[in-house]
């Protein structure tokens, strides 16, 4: 197995979901073994923030990375796009505090990655690859996230909401080995962020979702979706898999395992990523 990076740079601009701040992201090819990392090019000295679980500084409604005072928020969809498309090494320059939400999914990132293409680099350092030999899990109340040993990569997610338009949804994403990127681009990446109408006012009063709109998030109320059509009948649960892929990518290369989650959050996803990271440190 070889590491991969982008064949050329990618640029997108847009508004951050929580901050409402307009930012530009420029993703550049990076050296072998350098991983995925952010660079806050708007700040003096252009500080670097590694996209690693050790750098997670907050997980309230989105995943935020930071080193010291320097942070970058809502990294999960972009990181899922890179990991899902097999981009191991990438320098992600951003001129503000939050990754643009774009259409609420990873579709735009994934299409750009497919457009520029990838280049093969050196062989993967075995120390960068975590072997899941036994089940690992974290839980909170009735929510959980686990990783089971498996012959190939699989993500299974369950959600349950009282709103009838969402209800109970279960979905497994099991790509054919070697074709993960094609399957990720068609089955997971296009699934958009969703929000519940009754929570929106509270979130806005709390100073969150300043950049949220009916153009970048599906909104569900008691009578159904406010802004149909959906891209998939089960778009919400597919989006949860997108979030999980992004959060698990904070360990580096996605470990070959069956990830199973139920009613989980960025917080639980990151807790599992921390456990996997600890295994990786133990392995080396």
The residues carrying an active-site annotation are 266
For the bound state, the minimum distance from the C-beta of residue 206 to Zn ion, rounded and expressed in Å, comes to 18
For the bound state, the minimum distance from the C-beta of residue 104 to Zn ion, rounded and expressed in Å, comes to 8
Q: Work out whether strand 194-196 and strand 218-221 pair parallel, antiparallel, or are unpaired.
A: parallel
Nearer to Zn ion, 30 or 268 (CB): 268
Q: Work out whether strand 70-72 and strand 64-67 pair parallel, antiparallel, or are unpaired.
A: antiparallel
Position with the least CB separation from Zn ion: 243
Told to check if 247 binds Zn ion by CB under 5 A, we report: no
Nearer to Zn ion, 193 or 249 (CB): 193
CA neighbor of 100 nearest in space, from 112, 109, 91 = 109
Told to check if 235 binds Zn ion by CB under 5 A, we report: no
User: Residue 185 and residue 191: Cα distance in Å, rounded?
Assistant: 10
Nearer to Zn ion, 217 or 276 (CB): 217
Residue 27 and residue 90 in contact, taking contact as beta carbons nearer than 8 Å: yes
Q: How many residues in the shown chain lie near Zn ion by CB under 5 A?
A: 2
Residue 54 tokens read as 């050790």
Told to check if 243 binds Zn ion by CB under 5 A, we report: yes
Helix (H, G, I), strand (E, B) or coil at 246: helix
Residues 179-198 that bind Zn ion (CB under 5 A): 193
Nearer to Zn ion, 30 or 108 (CB): 108
For the bound state, the minimum distance from the C-beta of residue 64 to Zn ion, rounded and expressed in Å, comes to 13
For the bound state, the minimum distance from the C-beta of residue 217 to Zn ion, rounded and expressed in Å, comes to 9
CA neighbor of 8 nearest in space, from 116, 92, 81, 90 = 116
For the bound state, the minimum distance from the C-beta of residue 193 to Zn ion, rounded and expressed in Å, comes to 5
Phi/psi of residue 138, each to 5°?
A: -135, 150
At a CB cut-off of 8 Å and minimum separation 6, what does 46 contact? 39, 40, 93
Q: Work out whether strand 48-50 and strand 118-123 pair parallel, antiparallel, or are unpaired.
A: unpaired
Residues 254-283 that bind Zn ion (CB under 5 A): none
Residue 242 tokens read as 């997108």
Residues 89-148 that bind Zn ion (CB under 5 A): none
Nearer to Zn ion, 87 or 237 (CB): 237
Residues near Zn ion (CB under 5 A): 193, 243
């Amino acid at each position: 197995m070889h590491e991969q990076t982008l064949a050329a740079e990618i640029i997108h601009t847009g508004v951050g979901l929580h901050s409402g701040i307009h930012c530009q992201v420029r993703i550049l090819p990076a050296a072998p073994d350098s991983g995925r990392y952010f660079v806050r090019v708007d700040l003096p000295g252009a500080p670097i923030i590694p996209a690693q679980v050790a750098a997670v500084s907050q997980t309230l409604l989105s995943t935020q990375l930071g080193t010291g005072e320097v942070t970058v928020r809502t990294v999960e969809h972009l990181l899922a796009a890179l990991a899902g498309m097999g981009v191991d090494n990438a320098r992600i320059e951003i001129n503000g505090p939050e990754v643009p939400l774009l259409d609420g999914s990873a579709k735009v990132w994934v299409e750009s990655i497919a457009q520029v293409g990838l280049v093969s680099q050196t062989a993967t350092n075995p120390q960068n690859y975590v072997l899941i030999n036994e089940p690992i899990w974290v839980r909170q109340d009735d929510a959980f996230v686990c990783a089971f040993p498996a012959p190939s990569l699989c993500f299974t997610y369950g959600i349950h909401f009282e709103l009838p338009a969402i209800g109970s949804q279960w979905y497994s994403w099991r790509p054919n080995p070697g074709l993960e990127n094609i399957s990720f681009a068609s089955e997971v990446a296009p699934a958009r962020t969703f929000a519940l109408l009754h929570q929106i006012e509270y979130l806005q009063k709390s100073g969150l979702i300043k950049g949220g709109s009916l153009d970048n998030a599906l909104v569900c109320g008691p009578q159904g979706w406010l802004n149909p059509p959906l891209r998939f009948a089960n778009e919400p649960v597919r989006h949860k898999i997108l979030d999980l892929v992004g959060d698990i990518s904070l360990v580096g290369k996605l470990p070959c395992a069956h990830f199973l989650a139920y009613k989980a959050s960025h917080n639980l996803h990151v807790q599992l990523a921390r456990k996997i990271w600890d295994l990786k440190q133990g392995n080396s």
